[in-house]
Amino acid sequence: AQSVTQLGSHVSVSEGALVLLRCNYSSSVPPYLFWYVQYPNQGLQLLLKYTTGATLVKGINGFEAEFKKSETSFHLTKPSAHMSDAAEYFCAVTTFLNQFYFGTGTSLTVIP
């Protein structure tokens, strides 16, 4: 079975500071990993995904994530936070089956 753990249900950063949202996964087979963002009153939107190939993945809005198999991690980063980044972020994992497992989410607050 697969699962995802997101450490920190709430993260606050100052505008312009580094954003780091943590995601660890559990999977007995090679995983596919995703980060989704949910802005207030909107549906989930894909930020980026890792399937195969390069382990450093770049997504929209300046976000990137690195797949580290040895650490079973897929942390999301952005060098400089913007006020518009305030949202709920979800990490998700799937394998060769079309079952997707989401973490419990991290709410990002950006302080001006």
Partner 1 sequence: GAGVSQTPSNKVTEKGKYVELRCDPISGHTALYWYRQSLGQGPEFLIYFQGTGAADDSGLPNDRFFAVRPEGSVSTLKIQRTERGDSAVYLCASSPSDRNTDTQYFGPGTRLTVL
- Cβ nearer to partner 1, comparing 17 with 38: 38
- In angstroms, give the least distance from the CB of 46 to partner 1: 5
50, 67 contact by CB (below 8 A): yes
Rounded Cα distance between 7 and 78, Å, is: 17
Amino acid at 80: S
Q: Are strands 10-14 and 106-111 parallel, antiparallel or unpaired?
A: parallel
20 token code pair: 């780091």
Residues that bind partner 1 (CB under 8 A): 4, 6, 9, 32, 36, 41-46, 49, 51, 90, 92, 94-105
- In angstroms, give the least distance from the CB of 76 to partner 1: 14
- Cβ nearer to partner 1, comparing 73 with 106: 106
